[in-house]
Amino acid sequence: MTSHNEKNDSPMTCAEFQEHLPELFAAGSEGAMDDPKLLEHLKTCENCSALVRDLQYIADQARQLLEPTHDPSDNVWEKIKNSMAAEAPTPDLEKI
Amino acid sequence: MEIQGQQMTEPKAGPGLFKRNPPIAGEAEAIERAKAGDGEAFSKLYALHKRRVYTLCLRMLGNVSEAEDMTQEAFLHLFRKIGSFRGESAFSTWLHRLTVNLVLMHLRKKGLQLVSLEETINPSEEDAPKRDFGSRDVQLSGSVDRVALERAVASLPPGYRMVFVLHDVEGFEHNEIATMLECSTGNSKSQLHKARLKLRELLRQPEPMISGEMKETAL
Ligand SMILES: [Zn+2]
């Protein structure tokens, strides 16, 4: 996407930009984009900005999954109860 | 291998974790009573937390019977160790960390080399997420519902799924994940990134393409 020849002041390529992504995401919002070259690439490259948007979106959506939807079957609690009773036979446990 | 010792430590919960794990009404009292050996209080704790512990196990393990076994293990472990809970982090955070460590120990016993996680789960080159994203026909934002995401997560390679679930779903920090998985934080970050890339790829595919037969049970 970004083509360049000079070594130093040349704009970053997509591959170079994307190599920084794991660190950038891990750094979060604080000082993540302090490298002007990264920022510049993100602003000018549609490809990479869409990628960043999508990955951020996926990370945000993941929180939905925190709400669990599945229950263990009842016999899990039966087994726990039995093991607890065997380990610590207190009169109290019989009430469960 | 510091799993044993580390299991019961209670790193201070960051604000993020606390937000994810707000205190539950009646929980503190149940914890205190359970510590004193009150069986009814323990059964209340089980009722409050079974879903999330079980779902966590299910996501990490991908099958019902192992997930149920590990749920049982986790609560038995809780029963034995609840006395050492000091309330420095949210109870659910503490319980989940305990659960994750038990599941990881179980996987190691089964022979899954979590140390060399990087190698075992690195997809082959052709399978690796493509660096260059040419087609931008699909915009993800706003288009992904919970079911689609859950399905895509379930179809991730196990190592990717592990890091994604621990970080993005459960809210663990990279340094915690690195300790739990016995890898570097760099590894953890790059695995997470690869997991999200893979998810993006999966989610951009039309629905039926999402990796054949998903185990409904693992969702
Ligand atoms: Zn780019």
Tens-digit pLDDT profile for residues B47-76: 999 999 999 999 999 889 999 999 999 999
CATH of domain B13-109: 1.10.1740.10
B168·A23 Cβ contact <8 A: no
Domain count, chain A: 1
Q: Is residue A24 part of a domain?
A: yes
Confidence band, pLDDT 50/70/90 cuts, at residue B114: low
Chain B residue at shortest CA distance from A77: B72
CA atoms of A45 and B71, how far apart (whole Å): 47
Residue type, position B200, single letter: R
The mean pLDDT of chain B is 79
Q: Is residue A51 part of a domain?
A: yes
**B158 contact partners, CB below 8 Å, separation of at least 6:** B62, B112, B121
B38·A92 Cβ contact <8 A: yes
- Is some CB atom of chain A closer than 8 A to the CB atom of B197? yes
Residues of chain B with CATH 1.10.10.10: 114-131+140-218
Res A28: pLDDT: 75
Please state the pTM of the whole predicted model: 0.78
A-B C-beta contacts closer than 8 Å: 138
- Is some CB atom of chain B closer than 8 A to the CB atom of A86? no
Ligand 1 centre to CA of A16 (Å) is 8
Average pLDDT on B91-114 reads 87
- Is some CB atom of chain A closer than 8 A to the CB atom of B149? yes
Domain range for A52 is: 14-68
CA atoms of B216 and B128, how far apart (whole Å): 26
Confidence band, pLDDT 50/70/90 cuts, at residue B140: confident
CA atoms of A94 and B114, how far apart (whole Å): 40
Answer yes or no: is pLDDT of B135 > 50. no
- Is some CB atom of chain A closer than 8 A to the CB atom of B150? yes
- Three-state SS string across chain A, please? CCCCCCCCCCCCCHHHHHHCHHHHHHHCCCCCCCCHHHHHHHHHCHHHHHHHHHHHHHHHHHHHHHCCCCCCCHHHHHHHHHHHHHHCCCHHHHHC
Please list, residue by residue across A30-63, b when 16 or more beta carbons sit within 10 angstroms of its beta carbon and e when fewer do. eeeeeeeebeebbeebebbebbbebbebbbebbe
Res B144: pLDDT: 83
Quick: pLDDT tens for B142-194.
Answer: 778 888 999 999 999 888 999 999 999 999 999 999 999 989 999 999 999 99
Answer yes or no: is pLDDT of B2 > 50. no
Ligand 1 centre to CA of A14 (Å) is 3
Ion ligand 1 residues within 5 Å by Cβ: A 1, 14, 45, 47-48
Residues of chain B with CATH 1.10.1740.10: 13-109
Q: Is residue A60 part of a domain?
A: yes
User: Using CB atoms, which residue from A1, A58, A96 is nearest to B40?
Assistant: A96
Res B12: pLDDT: 45
**B193 contact partners, CB below 8 Å, separation of at least 6:** A21, A22, A25, A55
CATH of domain B114-131+140-218: 1.10.10.10
Residues of chain A with pLDDT under 70: 1-9, 29-33, 88-96
- Is some CB atom of chain A closer than 8 A to the CB atom of B54? yes
* Half-sphere exposure in the Cβ direction for B215 (13 Å, CA): 13
Q: Is residue A9 part of a domain?
A: no
- Is some CB atom of chain A closer than 8 A to the CB atom of B86? no
Ligand 1 centre to CA of A27 (Å) is 20
ipTM score of complex? 0.79
